[in-house]
Structure 1
C-alpha cells in the first residue's frame, strides 16, 4: 500500500501525476501469479495546463475479454465510470487514456498495443498510456500520432 503519488515527466517538463489511491488499484492488478489474466481500464482525471493528474480508473469487469497475454476492454463499466466522474465534477474529470497489465517485470508495449493505440486513440490533447508490469510501470503519452515514453521523477 502506498501513500505517495507516482510522477512521470517528458523532455519538456510536463508532468503526469498518478494519485496514491490509483497507484494502489493499478498495483492490485499486477500479474504476479502465472494464472493471472491481463486487466485493463481507462484513466480518469484532469488536465492542468501541460500537466495531467490521474484521479480515478475504471476496473475490469463483466464484458471484458481477459487472457494471460491479451485483454480487450469491452464492458460498459468503463464508459460509465468516465460519464459519472465527468458529471460529478462538472466536467473537470475526464477520460485521459488507457491502462493495462503485462505479465512481465519491466513492461514494454507490444506491436499489438502500439497498433491499437495508433488506430483507436485519437484526440487533440495528449493521451496517457500505462502498462502495469510485475515490478515496474511503463508510461507514455500519445501526442497526435507519436507515442512518447515518459520518465519517472
Structure 2
C-alpha cells in the first residue's frame, strides 16, 4: 500500500494557509510538490493559491502561472515535481468532490504533465479541521494513509 510522507513543517504550512485565507466560506488551495517513489510519496512542499486563483464556496481554481513557478522552483531546489494539490472543503466531507475528480482526470490525461497518479489532500474546516489524502489514477480513487514526519525524519 502506498503511503504519503508529509513533513510536520509542510502540514503546518497548509494549516497556516487555511487560517490566513480571507473568506473561510470559500475554498482555497495550492499545488503539492515532492517525489513519487511508488510505495511512498514524499511531499517536499506546497504552494499558495497564487494571486489570480479563484475562490468559490464549492470550487477552487488554482493560479496556473503561479503554480508553474512553484513547480519550477521546486524542481531547481531538489528535483521535486508537481504531484498533486491540496485544497479546502469549508462545509464538506474531506474527500474529492465529483468536480475535483473530473479536474484530476483531465490532469491525468494531459500528456505534457506526465502524471500516472495524482495526490489530493482535502482539508475540511467546519465543524472541525480534518485532513485526508487520496490517490487518484485514471481508473481508481482511494484513501492514502498519511505519515506525519517530524523535523528529524
TM-score range, shorter chain: 0.7 to 0.9
Superposition pairs for residues 44-55 of structure 1, below 5 Å?
44-55=33-44
Structure 2: which 5+ residue stretches go unaligned?
A: 148-153
The one of 47, 63, 74 equivalent to 1:58 is 47
Q: 1:147 aligns with which of 127, 141, 148?
A: 141
Q: RMSD of aligned C-alpha atoms?
A: 2.5
- How big is the shift at 1:117? 1.3
Task: Answer yes or no: is 1:132 the counterpart of 2:118.
Answer: no
CA distance in 1, matches of 2:49, 2:115: 27
SS at match of 1:30: helix
TM-score of the two chains, using structure 2 as the length reference: 0.78
1:78 pairs, out of 53, 67, 83, with: 67
Structure 2 counterpart of 1:120, from 94, 107, 126? 107
Aligned partners of 1:43 and 1:58 also within 8 Å = yes
Q: Deviations over 1:112-152 (max 9, x none)?
A: 11221122234453321111112211211112331122245
- Structure 1 match to 2:151: none
Q: How many pairs were matched up?
A: 139
| Runs ≥4 residues deviating over 4 A | 31-34
- TM-score, normalised to structure 1's length? 0.78
Structure showing the higher helix proportion among its residues: 2
CA contact (8 A) 2:4 2:146 kept: no
Measure, in 1, the Cα distance between the counterparts of 2:70 and 2:138.
Answer: 25
Tell me whether 98-107 or 62-71 shows the greater mean CA deviation. 98-107
- CA separation of 1:63/1:32 partners in 2, compared to 1, >3 Å: closer, same or farther? closer
Which residue of structure 2 aligns with residue 20 of structure 1? Answer: 8
Could you tell me which runs of 5 or more consecutive residues in structure 1 were left unpaired when the two chains were aligned.
Answer: 1-11
